[in-house]
Amino acid sequence: MDVIELLPRLHLLRFPVGQAYLWRDGEELTLIDAGTIGAGPVIAEAVRALGRAPEDVRRIVLTHFHEDHVGGAGEFAALSGAEVLAHRLDAPFVRGEAPGPAPRLAEWELPIRAEVARHLPGGSPLPPPSVTEVTDGEVLGFGGGAQVVHVPGHTDGSIALHLPAEGVLFTGDTVAALPPEGVLSRGEPVPTDPVEHTLIPGVFNLDRPRLLDSVRRLADLGAEVACFGHGDPVLRGAAAELRRAAAM
């Protein structure tokens, strides 16, 4: 796993499939998404390498229920005691009460999905001991007031997190970023120039028309920094890049 400082208070945790983010408020940390099965101990080690203890992570906010975002949530919650939060529509799947609905894949997505599946670990994730349900418009206690933005389409309960005081937006898989050659980068510095990014609406969705509406909603938030579930974050001029993605 790569650990990359994006901002003085924000680190990217990049896994073989997908990524998570660690936000710092003084002595308190917040984890946004939690990687695949087996990621819990890896995240704990990354937190220690940053000079903090896993117990400093007070909450794990999950953008949606897919396995590359929630696989390590129960593991890391057990290690840290962190509260796990998810939208009320995806929370039952995070708790393991039922399998979540499969995405409706377009023909062109099938080989991409097969390639991603090759890199996902087998088994079933450890469910968190409890999941706090959140809803659209709720404000969470980090980042100067993190606003929950319901962005259905990728899943019914997908959320983004907007930190207006910081100009930061976490989109989950509602938006993805591609480097110019169209291959997600690994092991390279995160580019800061907006022209280095190609943002696209997310793939592997339940409802693409609803997803496109959600991308447009995110573009209207005016964020300076945007962090995605897949692909390099945009660290400057994110709103303009999101508007281009929303027009696709």
Cβ neighbours of 95 (radius 10 Å) = 18
What the block records as the tokens of 178 is 């591609």
Pairwise CA distance, residues 205 & 207, whole Å = 6
Pairwise CA distance, residues 122 & 2, whole Å = 22
Pairwise CA distance, residues 211 & 26, whole Å = 35
Pairwise CA distance, residues 184 & 126, whole Å = 28
For position 123, what pLDDT does the model report?
85
Domains present along the chain, CATH in parentheses = 2-98+111-120+127-246 (3.60.15.10)
Contact 115, 151 (CB under 8 A): no
Pairwise CA distance, residues 224 & 238, whole Å = 5
Cβ neighbours of 164 (radius 10 Å) = 16
| C-alpha 157, offset from chain centre | 13
Pairwise CA distance, residues 189 & 179, whole Å = 12
Task: Please tell me the pTM assigned to this model.
Answer: 0.92
Q: Tell me the mean pLDDT per 10 residues along the chain, length 248.
A: 95 95 97 97 97 98 97 97 98 95 94 90 90 98 98 98 98 88 46 63 96 97 97 94 90
The DSSP result for 124-163, as a single string, is: -PPPPS--EEE-TT-EESSTTTEEEEE-TTSSTT-EEEEE
For position 1, what pLDDT does the model report?
87
